[in-house]
Amino acid sequence: MSDPTATRTICKQCVLPEAKPNIFFNEDGVCNVCVEHAKTKQLAQENKLLESELIKLLNKHRGTGKYDVMAMCSGGKDSTSALYYMKTRYKMNPLAFMFDNGFETEDAIANTQRAADKLGVDFLFFKSGYMKGLFAKILETESKTVPCHPCSMWYMDLAYETAARYEIPIIIAGWTKGQSTNQKVMSKCGCNAGSPEFKEMSAATKDFIDQHVRSDPRYQDFPHSMEEVLKRAQARRKAIVLSPHWFLPYDQETYVETIKRELGWEYPRLSYPGRSTNCSMNFISVWNSLKYYGYTHYHVEMSKMIREGMLTREEALRDLELQVSKEQVNEVAAKLGQHID
């Protein structure tokens, strides 16, 4: 798979390529997102989340039901460490919840199973073929939709529904500071659809859902947006979504070594970006993102982490280097009865 960003000029401070009209560079070669961040950095530092706030929220809901929290587990380093901290650092009683859209990897499932076993927590595994028809439709219609975006609506709706079923007041995610914005503790699920980096992608997702999804009898109840997911959640039973990574000072290297040692966690054999854990459908998402936009949501996340001093530009460029072949992408597409030219 060729990388469109390899021949495009990228920001001199982060790893975003120029993608006008939403992402553009000034005369110094710095993108507008970095320029805006520099203006608001002081405010963000003043509003920094403290671990004492997290502890206060956890204590408020501790012991109110069978489970104190539900930890969404992907098998990756961030969600596995979030589960680990809930059980060991904060002494909560978590339900480990893993969802499989039909493309989850054996490595990821094994990581979560080992973690649940070693921590002695209940593990709920939900596998569904529900999203396969929607994924196939994205390829059939040659939509500019990034498959991860409607999938995130599905799994967050599922997570809220599951938390309501078990009367769990707090959902724990493994989102890093790169996957969140300066917002209230109840998250809008990782990214701000109105930000310059996601504006065009979110418009494509909305158009795809309006034109091709809601007209399909299988998906008539599919949410239009993440905002609709949140409204549904509040109608069922209001739950808050937290990530310990927003509050804790530990870098990824620190907690990766911890979960390797304590839980037997392992990096998957193949994933994108480097040193990450994602389902194989992610390869299609990366393909579509690079084809239509020239960057992925991982470029956005890592750029945020660079601005916050959590990641170097060199580390981000290394992890974003494509190691996935077109043949591997088509192996995933073939499971949907599709082929990418």
Tens digits of residue pLDDT in 281-340: 999 999 999 999 999 999 999 999 899 888 899 999 999 998 788 899 999 999 999 998
- Contact at 8 Å (CB) between 173 and 114? no
Q: How many CB atoms lie within 10 A of CB 241?
A: 24
Q: Kindly provide the b/e burial profile for residues 40-55, where b requires at least 16 CB atoms within 10 angstroms of the residue's own CB.
A: eeeeeeeeebeeeebe
pLDDT at 188 over 50: no
Reported as a pLDDT band with limits 50, 70 and 90, residue 274 is confident
282 vs 303: CA distance, rounded Å? 19
For 12-58, give the secondary structure using H, E and C.
CCCCCECECCCECECCCCCEHHHHHHHHHHHHHHHCCCCHHHHHHHH
96 vs 250: CA distance, rounded Å? 22
CATH class of residue range 51-246: alpha beta
Cα 165 to Cα 17, 66, 71, 151, 187: the distances in Å are 43, 12, 15, 21, 20
Q: Comparing 251 with 177, which gets the higher pLDDT?
A: 251
**Span 173-178, mean pLDDT?**
84
Q: What is the pLDDT of residue 2?
A: 53
pLDDT at 79 over 60: yes
Read off the pLDDT of residues 196-216 as tens digits, 9 standing for 90 and up: 999 999 999 999 999 999 899
286 vs 300: CA distance, rounded Å? 13
Read off the pLDDT of residues 213-261 as tens digits, 9 standing for 90 and up: 989 999 999 998 888 998 999 888 778 999 999 999 888 889 999 999 9
Read off the pLDDT of residues 90-120 as tens digits, 9 standing for 90 and up: 999 999 999 999 999 999 999 999 999 999 9
pLDDT at 43 over 90: no
Per-domain boundaries in the chain: 51-246
pTM above 0.75, yes or no: yes
Nearest to 319 by CA among 307, 306, 332: 306
Q: What is the pLDDT of residue 186?
A: 42
Q: What is the pLDDT of residue 235?
A: 87
pLDDT at 48 over 60: yes
Read off the pLDDT of residues 55-74 as tens digits, 9 standing for 90 and up: 999 999 999 999 999 999 99
**Pairing mode, strands 240-242 and 170-172:** parallel
Beta bridge partners of 10: 17
